[in-house]
Amino acid sequence: MKAFETTAHYFHRAADQIELSDNIRRLLLTPKREVQVQVAIERDNGEIATYIGYRVQHDDSRGPMKGGLRYHPDVDIDEVRSLAALMTWKTAVVDLPYGGAKGGVNVDPRSLSAREMEMVTRKFIDGIHDLIGPDIDIPAPDMGTNDKVMAWVMNQYNKYHGFSPAVVTGKPVEMHGLPGREEATGRGVGIMAYKLLGRLHRKPQQTRVALQGFGNVGSHAAKILHEMECKVVAVSDLSGGYYCAEGLNIPHVLRYALEHRGQLAGYREAEHISNEELLALDVDLLIPAALGGVITAANAEKVRAPVIIEAANAPIDHEADDMLHHAGVVVLPDILANAGGVTASYFEWVQNRQHYRWSLDRVRQELEHVLTAAFEKVWELAAQRKVSLRMAAYMLGIGRVGRATVLGGII
Ligand code: NAD
């Protein structure tokens, strides 16, 4: 199923609930701008490699557009378009003064040397530098990119436009980045898990968690869940899953990943299972934190967890979502669950514009404050309107974007 179909499906369901007219639906669903640029580099072996870079700017009615840059071989216009729309609803759900955008390059970052990665980034920014900016569209990290990539984005943009640290977030702390930005999405997932488990009258100590994906989001989520005393029984990455019924030694797994360039391959202190098996484990909480579309109609029935937190973007397609809903599974949707990243990005942007450095304590405190307020609002709306948490989050986000669009004037 096309990624855009899934987000559009949720959009229409929520739009029905808030009785949005067809004309406003069409307006809100249509991206403001989509660009595709050539990203050609000379590889270390002298060969020319050509990739395609995308940037979709979905909506700016609530502020400058905001969204990550993904480097992955599956990146295409459909995926980027869908993720850009998700960003619009996400920034609105947490009430940040932003719109939504997304970008990416269809390249496998693992196939690139550091120099090649830098070239891909600089060439991509050459192609889109006129379309982004601190008051227009502010990229950030996503799958396959990191703080180093963001430093190159800033540096390349500055060559054209002068010193502008606020053009991109997720930068290294030494390069105008924010203390705590890197951990923020995973920490946000932890904050959400804590709130949700509380509302469901579940104790963290009695919660067995399976986590798919051990990159930026998955590893930080594992750390904070472990600190909350949840029992993380399985984690995974591209190399497969690692399972221990008594709970993994998460500090040990984290150290192992750190010593092996972020990879879990070869970890021997746990049973090796497949990613598919991980999704079907008998656990209390399942957290997909890798790719989109991993739970579909084909495997939804195998999911045994009664609660799912979508740390990844769009990990459940809409048919699977219906099946899970009917089976009574509580799903905390991506646009709320992983909003910690964009919230900390907002703090970084504010810090850059203030030219005043925030402390880690302040970042963590304000992150908790913003995310808690958004969680409570969505929870209340879901209870009031008797809809799922996903529907409530979409209704809240779309309603805010719709109101801003109408207030700003359409013609
Ligand atoms: P990352 O590149 O740091 O890590 C991705 C992880 O997923 C790695 O462990 C990788 O091995 C694993 N993975 C890749 N393909 C897999 C597969 N087929 N099966 C199992 N595991 C696989 O990416 P990230 O930044 O942690 O992002 C993960 C998800 O969270 C993405 O969906 C992203 O859009 C979303 N997200 C990230 C942020 C952020 O701040 N980084 C913010 C919001 C949402």
Note the pLDDT tens digit of each residue in 374-404.
999 999 999 999 999 999 999 999 999 999 9
The response to whether residue 56 sits with its C-beta less than 6 Å from ligand 1 reads no
pLDDT at res. 5: 78
118 and 71 inside one domain: yes
Contacts for 181 with CB less than 8 Å, ≥ 6 apart: 147, 169, 170, 171, 341, 344, 345, 347, 348, 363
- Answer for the pair 304, 363: CB distance below 8 angstroms, yes or no: no
41-55 mean pLDDT: 98
DSSP per-residue string spanning 363-383:
HHHHHHHHHHHHHHHHHHHHH
Long-range CB pairs of 387-390 (<8 Å, 24+ gap) are: 387/17, 388/325, 388/331, 389/330, 389/331, 389/332, 389/333, 389/336, 390/10, 390/321, 390/331, 390/333
329 and 293 inside one domain: yes
The response to whether residue 288 sits with its C-beta less than 6 Å from ligand 1 reads no
pLDDT at res. 1: 55
Ligand 1 pocket test, candidate residues 6, 72, 142, most atoms within 8 A of CB: 142
> Starting from the edge strand earliest in sequence, which strands make up the sheet with 240-243, in order?
271-273, 240-243, 231-237, 208-212, 285-288, 307-309, 330-332
Residue that finishes a domain, picked among 163, 195, 222:
163
Q: Is the pTM of this model over 0.75?
A: yes
295 and 157 inside one domain: no
Look-up: residue for tokens 């910690």?
340
Closest residue CA from atom 3 of ligand 1: 215
In a domain? residue 55 = yes
The number of folded domains in the chain is 2
In a domain? residue 203 = yes
In a domain? residue 288 = yes
Burial zone of 282 (CB within 10 Å; 0-12 exposed, 13-18 middle, 19+ buried): exposed
253 and 135 inside one domain: no
CA distance 353 to 337: 27
157 and 291 inside one domain: no
Closest residue CA from atom 32 of ligand 1: 312
Please pick, among 90, 102, 123, 231, the residue that the annotation labels catalytic.
102
pLDDT at res. 6: 81
CATH number at residue 142: 3.40.50.10860
Q: Give residue 189 CA to ligand 1 midpoint distance, Å.
A: 13
Angle at 376 between CA 93 and CA 316, to 5 degrees: 55
Q: Which domain holds residue 46?
A: 31-163
Ligand 1 pocket test, candidate residues 80, 110, 217, most atoms within 8 A of CB: 217
Note the pLDDT tens digit of each residue in 89-143.
999 999 999 999 999 999 999 999 999 999 999 999 999 999 999 999 999 999 8
HSE (side-chain half, CA atoms, 13 Å) at 396: 29
224 and 300 inside one domain: yes
Closest residue CA from atom 19 of ligand 1: 238
- Answer for the pair 303, 275: CB distance below 8 angstroms, yes or no: no
89 and 148 inside one domain: yes
226 and 308 inside one domain: yes
Distances 175 to 115, 290, 345 between C-alpha atoms, Å: 19, 27, 14
CA distance 302 to 282: 10
124 and 233 inside one domain: no
Tell me the backbone φ, ψ of residue 52, rounded to 5 degrees. -115, 130
208-225 mean pLDDT: 97
Q: Which residue has the higher pLDDT, 183 or 6?
A: 183
318-323 mean pLDDT: 95
Note the pLDDT tens digit of each residue in 254-273.
999 999 999 999 999 999 99
Distances 76 to 104, 128, 217 between C-alpha atoms, Å: 8, 16, 22
In a domain? residue 250 = yes
- Answer for the pair 25, 12: CB distance below 8 angstroms, yes or no: yes
pLDDT at res. 215: 94
By 3-state DSSP, what share of the chain in percent is helix, strand and coil, each rounded to 5? 50, 20, 30
In a domain? residue 133 = yes
Nearest atom in ligand 1 to 218's CA? 26
Nearest atom in ligand 1 to 342's CA? 42
CA distance 67 to 138: 7
174-198 mean pLDDT: 97
191 and 330 inside one domain: yes
Note the pLDDT tens digit of each residue in 77-90.
999 999 999 999 99
Nearest atom in ligand 1 to 292's CA? 32
The response to whether residue 217 sits with its C-beta less than 6 Å from ligand 1 reads yes
CA distance 301 to 309: 17
212 strand-pairing partners = 236, 288
108 and 205 inside one domain: no
Tell me the backbone φ, ψ of residue 243, rounded to 5 degrees. -125, 140
CATH number at residue 219: 3.40.50.720
Note the pLDDT tens digit of each residue in 218-239.
999 999 999 999 999 999 999 9
Q: Give residue 337 CA to ligand 1 midpoint distance, Å.
A: 14
CA distance 122 to 99: 25
- Answer for the pair 321, 299: CB distance below 8 angstroms, yes or no: no
242 strand-pairing partners = 235, 272
Q: Give residue 289 CA to ligand 1 midpoint distance, Å.
A: 6
Closest residue CA from atom 27 of ligand 1: 143
pLDDT at res. 397: 98
Closest residue CA from atom 42 of ligand 1: 341
- 4 has pLDDT over 60: yes
Residue that finishes a domain, picked among 337, 369, 390:
337
In a domain? residue 363 = no
pLDDT at res. 367: 98
Is-catalytic flag, 102? yes
Residue that finishes a domain, picked among 337, 364, 395:
337
In a domain? residue 2 = no
The response to whether residue 194 sits with its C-beta less than 6 Å from ligand 1 reads no
257 and 312 inside one domain: yes
Provide, rounded to the nearest whole percent, the portion of the chain with pLDDT above 70.
99
Element (H, E) at 212: strand 208-212
Contacts for 66 with CB less than 8 Å, ≥ 6 apart: 87, 91, 96, 98, 99, 100, 101, 137, 138, 140, 342, 345, 346
In a domain? residue 246 = yes
- 410 has pLDDT over 90: no
CA distance 141 to 186: 13
pLDDT at res. 7: 83
